[in-house]
Structure 1
Amino acid sequence: MRRLALLLVLLAGTAQAQDLAILRPQVTVEDAQIRLSDLFDNAGPNASRAIGPAPAPGRRIVVEPAQLFAIARANGVAWRPLTGADSVTVERPGRAIARDEVMDLLRADLIRLGMDRDTELELPGFSPPLVPTAAFAQTTIEGPTYDTVTNRFAATLVVVADGMPTQRLRLAGRALATAAVVVATRRLALNETVRPGDVRVVRQRAERVRPGLATNPAQVIGQSLRRPVAEGLPFATNDLSLPAAVERGATVTMLMESPGMTLTAQGRALEPAARGAVVPVMNLASRSIVEATVIGPGRVRVAFGGAPVGTVPSYR
């Protein structure tokens, strides 16, 4: 009989232990409300009851032991704190509104107020607001102002999304003038000829663009490089030259023209030169050196009757 009574006591204790709620020390919620089941496992018939607002998207709150005990008593949950460390950290994930989305909205309003469309917006201290991960968000700009003298602006960003109160953020900054700059799309080597796919135009703050940089692709395409250019860096016009149409030591065709007559001879270019440049050329037959104008790849024009600039002695 005593053994049966002891068994009944043990069974009753086990059943009571099974009814006890278990604290959830770390929890993530997606909803705008914290529910009883977010704080306790085995929370009973009121498990789905909302007990308070969730933290803002991207934020967290800590529910302390005394507050947890009060929540448990008010909702019929069999739980009491055992130590002062019995707390629950509730986190709510969030996604950031795209910075470009905010900038595009702000830029459109400021352009209507007289801002140059090619300016760059400086917005110090701005962090894109967070909204619930799965929520559809709408953003608008209210009350924009722009001073055309100081280039300073101000506005209010309004963010509306399900599951959170409407957010209003003050935006303030200044518009900075920009300038077009041609930069390399890949690393280019010394003496390499720049092709259309090797360049792109970017806009940089005008205050950072030093004089002498190429601002139009036409200044760069077809030019030869006097020094290497790394990917993403601008082209300096001093580092560009026309590509050589004749190379040093190359055999060239010398044309001597006069009304009704054209003579040709073979020569050797003594220096590299671009189209239109004057280069010394040695006539391979006479060994005399004359100045010639480069008219194309491997072709030079010599003034008829032009005086030689020197001779190279012939050795037997």
Structure 2
Amino acid sequence: MKYIALVITLMVAVTAPTIAFASDSITLRRDITVEGEQITLGDIFTGAGDKAGKVIAPAPAPGRSTIFKAISVARYVQSQGLDWRPATPIRRITVRRPGANISQQVVVDQLRAALEYETDLDLFEMSLSTQNLNIKVAADAPQTVSVENLYYNKNNGQFFAEILAPANSENGQRIRLSGQVHEQVLVPVLRQFKSAGQEIRESDIDYKAERASKVNHRVITDASLLIGKSPRRGVRSGVPINMSNLGDPVMIEKGKLVAVILEQGGMYLSITGRTLEPGGEDDIIRVENINSRKIIQAQVISEQEVRILTRQPQLASASAITN
């Protein structure tokens, strides 16, 4: 850490001929801290009397320290008519300035508010190039920031900003930051997992903000397209749904025993069959006659029943049912 030079009077005191003073004895403070913007003799020594307010150097930044050579300090206090004789040898004197951290969330909130006004976007995600900000202000200063300058590139979403800490202060720190703005859109998602074939109801739907760049034309953005449908493959909660993974709800699962009905004219037949594939209402699925092992095409009409199609090939298969 660089040593900070004392004021010009210190330089004069070191180079000028020795001048006689009526010396007053002073004592070095054990833990030297300063609160303000300047370091005085009274901050470093006790017993400085009317010289206590004498400014010898600027204070370090909040949360930082300044180190002086002890021999330079000794020469300076002697030039002020003071006498300091440390009880033990000492080479350096450290002066600390306490500081308070400004939370990153405070900075993010102020930047976001400024970007909302600048970009005129309803929804966006903001990311900073610097992930771990370490902004300190004086311990007694407000832990606030203000955005003094902001530039936003609409073409690529990049932004550059200068913030002042504390907010609107005359002698605050100015920190330059940069980052990226990603426009977002609201996408309907499911509140909980839905397995293939389960019907999606309005109460199952929630919304999630997604980056617009990740939402292609195959992603469903209109919640009305989901209601009454079902996923062809299971969908986790909070995940955008692809149009290709959407179908009608399954009313009858594969391998289920159902009543197979044939109605033709005044004839009514009903046997037991096993479904060979799942199907939704009015879907045509393959069903096996558990007695004859014949496979027929049937239409789903409820959770327990399928109806044999009345086309000629199906009538032929139906005749096998009665055998």
Q: TM-score, normalised by structure 2?
A: 0.61
CA contact (8 A) 2:194 2:231 kept: no
- For structure 2, the 5+ residue unaligned runs are 1-25
- Residue 114 of structure 2: which of 106, 110, 122 is its match? 106
Looking at structure 2, the residues matched to 75 and 109 of structure 1 have their Cα atoms a distance apart, in angstroms, of 59
- Kept after mapping to 1: 8 A contact 2:287/2:296: yes
Identify if the C-alpha distance between structure 1 residues 104 and 84 changes in structure 2 by more than 3 Å, giving closer, same or farther.
Answer: same
CA distance in 2, matches of 1:92, 1:150: 37
Letter in 1 for 2:233: R
Aligned ranges 1:154-169 → 2 under 5 Å: 156-161=162-167, 165-169=171-175
State yes or no: 1:265 paired with 2:270.
Answer: yes
Question: Superposed, which structure 2 residues align to 1:162-311 within 5 Å?
Answer: 165-170=171-176, 175-181=181-187, 188=193, 191=196, 193=198, 200-204=207-211, 206=213, 208-209=214-215, 212-217=218-223, 223-224=230-231, 226=233, 229=236, 234-254=240-260, 263=268, 265-268=270-273, 269-283=275-289, 288-304=294-310, 307-308=313-314
1:60 matched to 2:64? The reply is: yes
Count how many residue pairs are aligned between Structure 1 and Structure 2. Answer: 285
CA, structure 1 residues 152+180, in 2 after alignment: closer, same or farther (shift >3 Å)? same
The share of aligned pairs that are identical, in percent, is 21
Tell me if the contact between 2:148 and 2:161 (Cα under 8 Å) persists in the aligned partners: yes
Q: What is the distance in 1 between the residues matched to 2:96 and 2:144?
A: 29
Native 8 Å contact 1:135 1:161 kept in 2? no
**Superposition CA RMSD, Å:** 4.9
Q: Given the alignment, which residue of 119, 123, 126 partners 1:118?
A: 123
* TM-score with structure 1 setting the length: 0.62
More moved, 134-143 vs 90-99: 134-143
For the residue of structure 2 that corresponds to 1:93, the secondary structure is: strand
Distance 1:264 1:124, change over 3 A: farther
Q: Residue 6 of structure 2 aligns with which residue?
A: none
CA shift at 1:292, angstroms? 1.9
Note the residue ranges of structure 1 that are not aligned, 5 or more in a row: 1-18
Matched ranges for 1:4-43 at <5 A: 20-24=27-31, 39=44, 43=46
Kept after mapping to 2: 8 A contact 1:212/1:237 = yes
SS of residue paired to 2:301: strand
Q: 1:62-141 counterparts in 2 under 5 A?
A: 62-66=66-70, 68-69=73-74, 78=84, 80=86, 82-96=89-103, 98-111=106-119, 115-121=120-126, 123-125=128-130, 127=133, 129-132=135-138, 135-136=141-142, 139-141=145-147
**Alpha carbons 1:138, 1:159 under 8 Å: kept:** yes
Counterpart amino acid of residue 274 in structure 1: G
What's the secondary structure of 1:249's corresponding residue? Answer: coil
Paired residues of 1:151 and 1:176 also in contact (CA < 8 A): yes
